[in-house]
Amino acid sequence: MTLLSRDAERTQLDDALTACGRGGTGIVLVEGAVGCGKSALLRYCADAAHRHGVTTVRAAYPDCPTDLTTALGDVPERAPVVVCLDDVHHADAASLGRLTAWVRTTSHTARDGGLLLVLAATDASHHDAGLATELLKHPACTRIRVGPLDRTATAALVRRHTGGPAAPAVTDGLYLAGGGNPLLLRALLAEPGHVPEPGGPFSRAVLTCLQRCGATAPHLARALAALGDGATTERVASVLRTTPTETDRILTALRAAGLVLGHRLRHAAAAAAVLDDMDPGEREALHRRVARVLHESRAEAAVIADSLRACGGIDGSQGSGGCDDLDGSDRGWVVPVLREAAQQAMAVDEPERAAACLQLAHASCATDTDERTRSEIMLQLAAITWRLSPAAAEQHLEAPLAALRAGRLGTATAGHLARLLVAQGRIEEGAEALRRATGTDATSSATTDGGGPDRATTDGGGPDRAAGAGATGRAAEADVLRELFALPPGGSSPAPPGGEHLNACAALWTHPGHQDDAQDAGRFLDGAPATQGTHEALAQAVRTLIHADQPRRAADWCRRLQEQIARHRAPGLRAMYGTLHGEALLRLGDLAGAEREATAAIRAVTGRGGHFRSAPVAVLVTALTDMGRYDEAARHLEPLIPERTLATVHALPLLRARGQYFLATRRTEAALGEFLDLGRLARRWGLDRPRQHPWRTDAAEALLRLGRHQEAAELIAEHLALPDATGPRLRGVALRLRAATETPRERTRLLTRAVAELRGSGDRLELARALADLGRGFQTLGEGTRAGSVVRRAWGLAADCGAAPLCEEILPGQDPGAPGSARGTGGVVGAEKADRLSESERKVAALASAGYTNREIAAELFISTSTVEQHLTRIYRKLHITRRRDLPLDLEFDPCESAPLRS
């Protein structure tokens, strides 16, 4: 037999065997923790004695022969004999008495042949007092202490098991997990990949060690496992209803066995093994007692909550739904502890743990007396779970909303409910809660149906208030609005007058429309950290950039925010920022990028998106429609037809996407219906802002296709007259559509202005549409050369966007990927090449690429024709081209903004 790191112990046993062979009498007591190799040393001694022809008697308690004298009766008096008795600590009282008497006899009775008694037991603290005394008194007693393996011996054991040296990290990991206990180490080596599995060799070895450590050891191990990070000697003693001294004695034995480090079981698998070995009812009772002990000893809320969750069935299979087994005296502290633990969990970015604590707190409230508390908890839960599951967050608001309508919700709680409803896009229900919070709807909020299409907003004054309550009511309203609708990008609250609650609730989903909106949003994004409390405001700031014709900045910020939350468990936030990223890319004409971001957003909340899922689906459907992938777009629209979807602001982009899909698939009347429905909802919810929802121009395009030009012109005029219709994209699209209602001469002039506006908006797809219309306008006026150049540019932009239907409309039959296609002529010039051109050369190149003749360029720039020719010669040389049609079409100078119109 090979023993690792036991040279000194073997030497002591060899010396004792030698003395026995010479006729001496000796006793060897091998002590040590469970699993550390005591039995292996006994086997070594017996094998060595056998090899030398010495008679051996081997036995283990409790199966040891009742009378050792009888067992040795057949051994000749002159022959040496070795008696090896294992697990002496398991001997019963009668056996210990006989063994003690026999040891006493050997101290004054000599055998001619020699006698060696080898005993193995756990630490001396477990021995019978009488036997221990006799061993101390015996003149030939030797004690051998067997400890755990060190790192070197552990490495040797691993090397023997694997047949080769192991990496230091592997050896260290095994040493730390098994504490140097050979039994536990061998069990770990038997596990696949040295990783313990439930019920595997390591778990079984842990349970075996505990059973062999005494009757109390398994109970103590269970208490340690249940206490977790909150374990101390005093708390373990309280759980076991014993003394700290006795607890410490058993802890010492478990530490020596490598099972415990400090006040924790060394390995999580060991803790799981001892708890799984319990009856479910006993396990829940243990966790209840542990929770009470932790509370009484003022442990941290997070530690107490772990035990409360374990006994409450939140994560288990018992499904009790709450801490029903805690007595009445416990209920006063259970809910506050769980709510505090939820706050601590959110502070360290553990939303799942926070949600579990709040769910248990809600279930632990008495339904007949704690409805207000239950509602507050559900609001906390909704705020936390949105980042995990928007659908679950929506469901969490249903009970508080019902309590509001029944008149059982306090003002402050109603204000919090309003804030969360609005954040979920439920504008009308949010307004209903806000009326309750501000005290302006005390008579009607309990009977409001919440969200029906015929419900009207309140008037500006609201109902009369009781005398003397006016100042208090106004102060409460100001506080609620300040908390509810503060707009960080604008730096102030849009406090609407009196009862215009729908407009107030719309504030989170729009922005004031000031000229400095984008600047304010950028400052906020630069200074605000991405934390639990800032994500709504950050999203609002990004939306502001998108609507302010700064989609590239918005896309950059989305990428940064997505990177910041990538390491967190926040699928809801990933979907929110992914949707905004997709919207920004749509505004840039990057259809493939928009499809990518929207698909990822949908995937993040699959099965748990709720009404919010409509937002990324709208982006995806729009991108697929513009790319001509109509069948795929239709598959994403079908599951979202139920009218319940129209209860949130996420319905608005969905309606627009459906309308654009119907328009692209030549169902123009259906498209018009979608756009008009969008307008009705936007007006009712206070969201009728062209920057966010340009439904008038969408409807005008449908009307133009239906031949209803007068109605289209009226909508376009109404659109342009709105104060919010000030961005270059909004004006460019409106001018493009308005041009379709004018004469050819006026049409070209309006399209020239539309191109100039759209070129500054960043929207390449809308620019491609305007250029295509402008090319056709030039063709109508007989300017074929200029028309061809502009059309090629329009086709190139559409091809770069991936808009196959638009490419086909501009140049039928032209493959965007074919060599020598229009995409390859007058394409995008590299920045390094464009920088080679002077400002004058850039202007000449831009006009020439747009189809202007040398004479027209000279007239436009007030230079001579020969100067134009000289500029073109230098331009060709710098750009390495040989002909006019190869000139780039994306230089920063509009080729049409001041072109002379011909009669």
- What residues does each domain of the chain span? 7-147, 149-278, 283-364, 370-436, 830-903
What is the signed CA dihedral for 388, 389, 390, 393, rounded to 10 degrees? -90
Those residues with Cβ within 8 angstroms of residue 856's Cβ, 6 or more apart along the chain or in another chain: 847, 899, 900
CA distance 359 to 339: 10
Those residues with Cβ within 8 angstroms of residue 813's Cβ, 6 or more apart along the chain or in another chain: none
Question: What pLDDT is recorded for position 476?
Answer: 41
What is the signed CA dihedral for 88, 92, 94, 97, rounded to 10 degrees? 30
Phi, psi (degrees; rounded to nearest 5) at 560: -65, -45
Q: Are 150 and 178 in contact (CB under 8 A)?
A: no
The two structure tokens encoding residue 662: 């119907």
Compute CA distances 502 → 505, 724, 829, 872, whole Å: 5, 19, 49, 60
DSSP one-letter code for 827: -
Neighbour tally for 298: CB within 10 Å: 7
DSSP one-letter code for 667: -
Question: What pLDDT is recorded for position 279?
Answer: 92
Question: What pLDDT is recorded for position 593?
Answer: 96
CA distance 3 to 467: 93
- φ/ψ bin of 495: left (φ > 0), alpha (ψ from -120 to 50), beta (otherwise): beta
The secondary structure element, H or E, covering residue 115 is: strand 115-121
The two structure tokens encoding residue 457: 């907003």
Beta bridge partners of 86: 60
CA distance 218 to 253: 12
Compute CA distances 216 → 43, 212, 250, 278, 425, whole Å: 28, 10, 8, 14, 58
Question: What pLDDT is recorded for position 451?
Answer: 38
Closest CA to 533 of 352, 357, 386: 386
Helix (H, G, I), strand (E, B) or coil at 469: coil
CA distance 375 to 384: 14
The two structure tokens encoding residue 252: 């010492």
CA distance 823 to 817: 8
CATH number, domain 7-147, options 3.40.190.10, 3.40.50.620, 3.40.50.720, 3.40.50.300: 3.40.50.300
Compute CA distances 507 → 431, 521, 527, 649, 845, whole Å: 11, 15, 22, 12, 47
The two structure tokens encoding residue 96: 């210990």
**Per CATH, domain 830-903 is 1.10.10.10:** yes
Low-confidence ranges of the chain (pLDDT < 70): 1-5, 64-77, 107-112, 123-128, 313-331, 366-369, 439-500, 511-516, 638-645, 816-835, 850-851, 885, 888-903
Question: What pLDDT is recorded for position 644?
Answer: 57
Compute CA distances 835 → 829, 831, 838, 881, whole Å: 10, 6, 8, 16
Question: What pLDDT is recorded for position 463?
Answer: 30
The two structure tokens encoding residue 552: 């590239």
CA distance 429 to 432: 5
Q: What beta strand segments (E) does 458-562 contain?
A: none
Question: What pLDDT is recorded for position 899?
Answer: 40
pTM (2 decimals)?
0.71
CA distance 882 to 513: 48
